[in-house]
Amino acid sequence: MSIVLKPLLDPVDMQIITLAASVAVADAINEETGMHPKIKWPNDIILEKRKLCGILTEMSCEAERINYVILGIGINVNQ
């Protein structure tokens, strides 16, 4: 899935979006399945030593502002 975000952040703070998405995905997996995935910095979710999810962010920005961020989250559901 991909979503377009327009955060009110400075470009140097953009990495918080990837981290927030990683935490949200790991928490959702835990809540729905009872399993305890780990976050492999900065953009992978690992479960039982296997990659369960990848997160990618791409940004369009100017010197001091972000125009938009595309946040992509891909979850491997058939492992």
pTM over 0.95: no
Distance CA 3, CA 73 (A): 9
* pLDDT tens column, 10-42: 999 989 999 999 999 999 999 999 999 999 988
Q: Contact 54/46 with Cβ under 8 angstroms?
A: no
Give which of 45, 42, 14 is closest to 28, Cα–Cα. 45
* pLDDT tens column, 50-67: 999 999 999 999 888 999
